Amino acid sequence: MRTRKLGNTNLKLSVIGLGTWAIGGSWQFGWGPQDDVDSIRTICAAVDAGINWVDTAPIYGCGHSEQVVGRAVKEMSKKPLIATKCSLLWNDKREKYSCFDHDSIIAECEDSLRRLGVEVIDLYQAHHPGTDAQNDETWEAMALLVQQGKVRHIGASNFSVAQLDRIAKIHPIASLQPPYSMLRRDVEEILLPYCKRNHIGVVAYSPMQKGLLTGKFSAKHMKTLVADDHRRNDPNFNGELLKKNLALVDALKPIAERNGKTVAQLAIAWTLRKEEITAAIVGARKQKQIEETVLAGNWVLSDEDITEIETILK
């Protein structure tokens, strides 16, 4: 698979990374009940197919996703790069909360290293921003972890340009992890140009918009979602907006089909069309899912396809 250099680091990432939110289990912290054996097979299949990095987070399944990633990596002779996160935790009642405290960030890293079974984390990311003071404290702790050799590079997820500008004065930013898809393009205007100017890598999450851009989702499917499924409260999956989005997917199908690809592969390839995007994070719960989507990694859209897609999106 194609690789791209991550910002100002020496890391070369495959243009598709495996996201592991879905293997955390339970709808509160993942994507519903999940078989760990399936998860491990999926992770191993992803690496066998050319994916060289895995993205996870402690909050995915309250540590469970990291543990499963660790179990999978232990079985591999060729180890993938590991990206995980900090600052989003849970209490004894499994209730989520944010913590930007210096000592907590240090302790979180130790916990992640233990769960993952690795000696160093390749990319450690602040999961989401807080106040300026909280971001400063988090970033200072993460910079210390780099100095201590426990993490190689640090990045931010869901940060704005102003927030990135501020923490960059403390320590270089390796990457930004924002949402980006055909249905969510706000990063194109300010964030992507900023990252390009400042040599910050961009690893985009949700390129298939939580499954909406796979070509397999329907209004009928929406009615079958369990009560805890977070998509029930997502505007993109409800009412007139859902109808509009499904019509858009139908319009995209001929482009995918004439290229011998699926709509899911088209959505990923479209995300990767921009040079500012280092890689796209793609989730999967089963081996066959990642074996399909990974094929988008070497698909470069033609100018004609891109122009036609833009017409549809407008």
- Provide the annotated active-site residues: 60
CA distance 61 to 66: 9
User: With the CA atoms of 58, 234, 219 and 268 taken in that order, what torsion angle do they form, in degrees rounded to the nearest 10?
Assistant: -60
Sign (positive/negative) of CA torsion 157, 161, 167, 169? positive
Q: Where are the beta strands (DSSP E) in 199-239?
A: 201-205
Query: How many whole angstroms separate alpha carbon 169 and alpha carbon 136?
Result: 10
- Reported residue count of the chain is 314
C-alpha closest to that of 87 among 158, 23, 24, 17 = 158
In a 13 Å sphere around the CA of 120, the CA atoms on its Cβ side amount to 12
Angle at which helices 263-271 and 303-313 pack, to 10 degrees?
Answer: 100
Which sign, positive or negative, has the C-alpha torsion 34, 39, 210, 98? positive
> In angstroms, what CA-CA distances link 70 with 20, 29, 105, 111, 114?
12, 18, 20, 12, 9
Query: What is the C-alpha to C-alpha distance for residues 222 and 219, in angstroms, rounded to an integer?
Result: 5
